[in-house]
Amino acid sequence: MTASGKADLVIVANRLPVDRVDNPDGTPGWRRSPGGLVSALEPVLRANDGAWIGWPGGTEDDLEPFVEDGMSLVPVHLTAQEIEEFYEGFSNGTLWPLYHDVVAKPEFHREWWDAYVTVNERFAAKAAEVAAKDATVWVHDYQLQLVPQLLRELRPDLRIGFYLHIPFPPGELFQQLPWRRQILEGLLGADVVGFQLAGGAQNFIRLVRQRVGHKTHRDLVYLPDERTVRAAAYPISIDASGFEELARSKAVGERAAEIRRALGNPSKLFLGVDRLDYTKGILARLRAYSELIADGELDVEDAVFVQVATPSRERVEQYIVIREEIEQLVGRVNGDLGRIGRPAISYLHSSYPREEMAALYRAADIMVVTPYRDGMNLVAKEYIACRYDGDGALVLSEFAGAANELRQAWLVNPYDINGMKQALLDANRSTVKERTKRMKAMRKTVVENDVKAWADSFLQELSRVRESHGKPLRPARGS
């Protein structure tokens, strides 16, 4: 941030890019969150005297802005009731299922909406306070869809971008939302609204035309105040070189070999890595695999399925239910089909550091990514980045955003159990030549379109849209 305490680039996200940890001496501290978004935006923040606004987690209300790992961080406080109603309620009980094709039934509660408005107003006020004159503000994701318009009302001088990391639904689903117009108008406060896929941008444009009444043409919305809003696709990616460097390290290679030994050196190791979420299709995937074991197509002496399910939203009822269902299925399958020292499914309900994930990616022969709906799914790209030897197979849901780019994967409809079983078998029986041809093509896509390219393309578009703001955005050093 500048000497005045203002920032020329402000990132606004639901969470800060750091997590609370206990230091060795027992004092509280911070650790940088894993993930490509932080890696992509940190150098841009540094180059632009930037600040990151977000909720630190928990309910403490006495945190002042602070610097951690070279990033200027500005906390936004949430009360326990707001965590329940804004975060667990409207964000994850209403918007999340609605935007993910109603895999689970969304709930519509007026109290949740009121909390959503209140928290969005708080984030917008903080951004208005922190942003320098003519600054660029980049707002992220479904929890903060009202912030662009609220911020524009407070600070019309700002250049504002918004990026939605999850799918944006078709009108038939979105129109169920009682507050549909308010959400659309909130997003129209941005100069650029970014989506994972072109279909999401088209859904948004169509809804704005039908529900708000603005004139549109292709990816542009024309507002009465002569401002235009661009809605387009900017598919997010990963730090591909960082993952490959990690995968090539001696420590990760040794850990990958250790993982295979611990599993009894199977001929084939299948791997699933997901947040524990009902949209991820974990239950159907494990059912398909277990049927292959029961049918005799696979044998527990030769194959094992490792499923990592990272804990997520554990106080939300739907998440409690899906966890119980998965654990019951794993127990039943291992009881019926496993042998001593040879479980059919090795299930891990835990989160792991990036190094351990890279080792799992290196150890796995077949990566299985089968969500019912996903904005992108970066796990698929992480696996590809770690397969520097060109081997390995990816079984991928047609309904993950990544399928739009990774056409060489074994693509499946996750609702079709028989089709999924066949894809698992096809990947398992593929030749080295076929796997290498597919992997080489996918690796080229992931390496050329990494997370830095994603951030640069969005911010460059934002700089072009409103050049009259004057202050150009500076790229990160080396770009």
Domains annotated for the chain, with CATH where assigned, are 7-236+452-467 (3.40.50.2000), 240-448 (3.40.50.2000)
Q: Which helix (H) or strand (E) holds 59?
A: none
Say whether 374 is catalytic. Answer: yes
Locate 476 and state its tokens: 């990160």
Sites in the chain below the pLDDT cut of 50: 468-470, 479
Q: Give the model confidence (pLDDT) of 145-178 as tens digits.
A: 999 999 999 999 999 999 999 999 999 999 999 9
- d(CA 336, CA 346) in angstroms, rounded, equals 14
The dihedrals phi and psi of 150, each to the nearest 5 degrees, come to -60, -40
Q: Is 22 a catalytic residue?
A: no
Q: How far is CA 110 from CA 335, 400, 406, in A?
A: 46, 31, 41
Query: Is-contact 84 118, C-beta < 8 A?
Result: no
Distances (CA, A) of 335 to 87, 181, 288, 328, 340: 38, 51, 17, 10, 10
Whole-number pLDDT of residue 36? 63
Of 165, 299, 426, 456, which one is the catalytic site residue?
A: 165
- Is residue 54 within 8 A of residue 62, CB to CB? The reply is no
Inter-CA distances, 319 with 123, 291, 329, Å: 27, 25, 15
Among the listed residues 219, 239, 374, 450, the single catalytic one is 374
Contact call for residues 71 and 42 (beta carbons, < 8 A):
yes
Contact 235, 405 (CB under 8 A): yes
Instruction: Say what the pLDDT of residue 62 is.
Output: 82
Q: Where are the beta strands (DSSP E) in 240-338?
A: 268-275, 303-310
Maximum C-alpha span of the chain: 71
What's the pLDDT tens digit per position in 284-317?
Answer: 999 999 999 999 999 999 999 999 999 988 888 8
Q: What is the pLDDT of residue 19?
A: 85
Q: Give pLDDT, residue 4.
A: 64
